[in-house]
Amino acid sequence: MHLFDNPAFDDHEAVHHVFDKTSGLRAIIAIHSTALGPAAGGCRRWHYGSEAEALNDVLRLSRGMSYKNALAGLPFGGGKCVVLCEPGETKSAEVFQALGAAVDSLGGRYITGEDVGVSTRDMAQVGTRTKFVSGLPHVNGAVGGDPSPWTALGVALGMEAAARRKLGAGSLEGLRVAVQGVGHVGFHLCRLLAERGARLVVSDLNADNLRRTVQQFGARAVPPEAILFQDVEILAPCALGAVLNARTIPGLKCRVVAGSANNQLETAPDAMRLHERGILFAPDYVINSGGVICIAREYLGGCTRQRLADEVHRIPQRLTAIFDESARTGRPASVVADEMAEMVLHSRSPADSSSSVQSGGMLNSAA
């Protein structure tokens, strides 16, 4: 499918296909918006069924980053990168170095970081060729590195706010939570939920990830095809996107959905499907913004761990405002969140931000 006909195309400013013959890098970098600043968003390494699938993913993810950064109050627009790989293909440093060169060639319009399938070590390779990268290995306890613990913290705090709103629960103690995907974020989330006395049901395609979560937190494991339909108060999708759709929503037994995965709704009408079933959905790009806040603060510099923690602790406040507006207007929380994000985005035009991108005025480079 051509770019401009793709249903996920949403006036993206640019989409770059990247190929490097020497390393074998095949990647797509999508810049959705630079209205609020340089487009920031992580890099996902994944085996896609086709190039069209990869394009669809990067278009959806980069738009989500514009909304996420806007509502998190960060001076960044939205972008994303996908690196295409084959099943079982081992990672190579050369691929990430070539990606660094491609990111650098965009002159700071796009800033990359980790996402699914990518680690701080990979970002260090990217960083050998560009300064427009964040999520680099920690140096002397400074803010930064793997963002997933911060993402998990934001999700746990947001889940408490959603449980308060929907279930009238003062805490997560005794509540049943199903977590789909116990990788970077899901594992840290399970730790926080276990500390809060939640009863955990988990699943993962990766046997090692599943085993360590069961062993460390006493979680009950169920097969991947069963996790969404558990008899629980809260469902936390922490694997991939599009898990909430016309096929799955009718079978959900939870009353709240609050998880880290990006783009949990497959299509726009899925928001109404959840709403009509009386399931409270915590908009994913709001509840999972702890990671990008960490990445942004590392990139901009001058932030302490305490200030970062304070910023992540404001996520429930933002969610509560969205839930309030949803209750007042009778519209799904995710629709309300989209409108709020669009208001922020449209308050600045791309032209407004170009000078700051060029001058680096709002950036403190990570070099």
The residues of the shown chain that bind ligand NAD, judged by CB under 6 A, are 115-117, 147-148, 151, 180-181, 183-186, 203-206, 209, 224, 238-240, 260-262, 288, 291
Could you please report the per-residue DSSP string of 196-265? Answer: TTPEEEEE-SSHHHHHHHHHHH-PEE--GGGGGG-S-SEEEE-S-S--BSTTTGGG---SEE----S--B
253 among known catalytic residues? no
- Of 71 and 357, nearer to ligand NAD (C-beta) is 71
Which two three-digit tokens encode residue 239?
């694997």
- Of 128 and 206, nearer to ligand NAD (C-beta) is 206
Angle at 21 between CA 39 and CA 366, to 5 degrees: 30
Return the residue nearest ligand NAD (CB atom). 183
Q: How far is the CB of 264 from ligand NAD (least distance, A)?
A: 8
Angle at 189 between CA 185 and CA 195, to 5 degrees: 155
- Of 152 and 322, nearer to ligand NAD (C-beta) is 152
- Of 122 and 204, nearer to ligand NAD (C-beta) is 204
Which two three-digit tokens encode residue 3?
């770019």
Q: How far is the CB of 168 from ligand NAD (least distance, A)?
A: 28
Q: How far is the CB of 293 from ligand NAD (least distance, A)?
A: 10
- Of 68 and 357, nearer to ligand NAD (C-beta) is 68
Q: How far is the CB of 50 from ligand NAD (least distance, A)?
A: 18
DSSP strands (E only) in the chain: 14-20, 25-33, 39-40, 43-46, 77-84, 110-111, 176-180, 199-203, 220-221, 234-237, 256-257, 280-281
- Of 108 and 186, nearer to ligand NAD (C-beta) is 186
Q: How far is the CB of 342 from ligand NAD (least distance, A)?
A: 20
Helix (H, G, I), strand (E, B) or coil at 123: helix
Helix (H, G, I), strand (E, B) or coil at 80: strand
Catalytic site residue from 80, 91, 131, 253: 80
Q: How far is the CB of 189 from ligand NAD (least distance, A)?
A: 9
Cβ distance 190 to 200 under 8 Å?
A: yes
- Of 224 and 350, nearer to ligand NAD (C-beta) is 224
d(CA 157, CA 178): 16
Q: How far is the CB of 305 from ligand NAD (least distance, A)?
A: 16
d(CA 88, CA 135): 24
End-to-end CA distance of the chain: 38
d(CA 7, CA 78): 18
d(CA 331, CA 333): 6
d(CA 318, CA 326): 12
- Which positions are annotated as active-site residues? 80
